[in-house]
Structure 1
């Protein structure tokens, strides 16, 4: 990275960190972009050069979140079930207390800020919708075994599958949020969600590969019948 790019990244980080500190202290709707700029020591236009909207200041890792599930699907090993890939990533994150899941002391205030702001709640929904759309695109580009040769007729199925996978992932994170905001210790929330997420994703995976399993069973029966026929005619 060049010196210019390094300085730009440092400026972006300083703006985002300062904005979050102000939002935590005063709330999202009570802080203006001009106040953020003044605390950083830059112009308001500079802030908007890095963050097109005020909501972008709060969700400064939005692009990473929106592309996470799609990236997992694209980067998975050939023949690997996309549901299993996303399941295992979530379970590993839970085991490691990944900060992105909200299992850290500062998460409660972060979620409270979102809860208190209609604009942030709307943006949070948009992020979820974009993540689901990106996942649907990734599934079309790198389909599961049951759709190894996708055509236009398969695309609605893959879009629905993306909705089921992304919805299950969002539901797991939402349940963590609900539990922590209700006062449950993060470790307890994690220990409750991990087995539930495992079971939910396994059910999705089972359904996804049910037709493949049925085909394998049918092939096995045909093979057994062929052997019996050969013995009969021997």
Structure 2
């Protein structure tokens, strides 16, 4: 059960990140100093950095909060279900739920958020790759519990890359103005095809 202090920390963290993303989307990531973000969130600069070690983390925590999710799905899969099938199911569930991490969410702020991460600030993309590398390591550790290390490492790389490519493809279709229903049907077909290419 989450304590009152932890709930307060979560509220402050979300308030800081929301203020930051609003400012970044309005004026650009590189154009907004951290001091302005802190002022908008009603906290001091040292307090801001207690919650977010880098400026990039102000944006990427929404993605970083999924860190270890694939490893968790693998560890919690039902008996007899392969890791690939478990992650396929999880990704398809994410598509059905319009989870932004799958790229299938056409809310203007979500589309703009992805554009900012992918195209407007190289530092954000570099930091994102660090998070993805860590997520891949955690997934490899989970896979190694039932496989040899090399197989686990290779499969983790394939799975993380598959999910990344699918998500970015979905976002790009929406960013091009294609309707959500059309993109969703294409996204489901692409996910099923992509996961079918991986070792069962």
Tell me the TM-score normalised to structure 2 length.
0.90
Q: Secondary structure at the match of 2:30?
A: coil
The offset of 1:130, in angstroms, is 1.7
Contact residue 56 and residue 62 of structure 1 kept, 8 A: no
Judge conservation of contact 2:63–2:101 (CA < 8 Å) in 1.
no
Is 2:189 aligned against 1:189? Answer: no
State the Cα RMSD in Å: 1.6
8 A Cα contact 1:87 1:198, kept in partner: yes
Runs (4+) off by over 6 Å: none
User: Could you list the runs of 5+ residues in structure 1 that have no partner in the other structure?
Assistant: 148-153, 209-234
Q: Which has the higher contact order (CA 8 A, sep 6+)?
A: 2
Greater Rg over alpha carbons, structure: 1
1:13-32 superposed matches below 5 A: 13-32=14-33
Task: Check whether the contact 2:91–2:102 (CA below 8 A) recurs between aligned residues.
Answer: no
Secondary structure of 2:29's counterpart equals coil
Shift of 1:185: 2.2
Tell me the distance in 2 between the aligned counterparts of 1:81 and 1:59.
Answer: 30
Of residues 111, 115, 118, the one that matches 2:114 is 111
What is the total number of aligned residue pairs between the two structures? 196
CA distance in 1, matches of 2:162, 2:67: 15
1:98 aligns with 2:99: yes
Deviation at 1:50? 0.7
User: Structure 2: how far apart are the matches of 1:112 and 1:62?
Assistant: 14
- Whole-angstrom distance in 2 between the partners of 1:130 and 1:187: 33
Matches within 5 A, 1:63-82: 63-82=64-83
Unaligned runs of 5+ in 2: none
For residue 177 of structure 1, what is the aligned residue in structure 2? 171
Alpha-carbon separation, structure 1, partners of 2:182 and 2:153: 34
When the two structures are superposed, what TM-score results if normalisation uses the length of structure 1? 0.78
The correspondence of residues 1-234 of structure 1 with structure 2, limited to 5 A, is 1-102=2-103, 103-105=105-107, 106-114=109-117, 115-141=119-145, 143=146, 147=147, 154-204=148-198, 207-208=199-200
1:183 match: secondary structure = coil
Higher alpha-carbon deviation: 102-111 or 35-44:
102-111
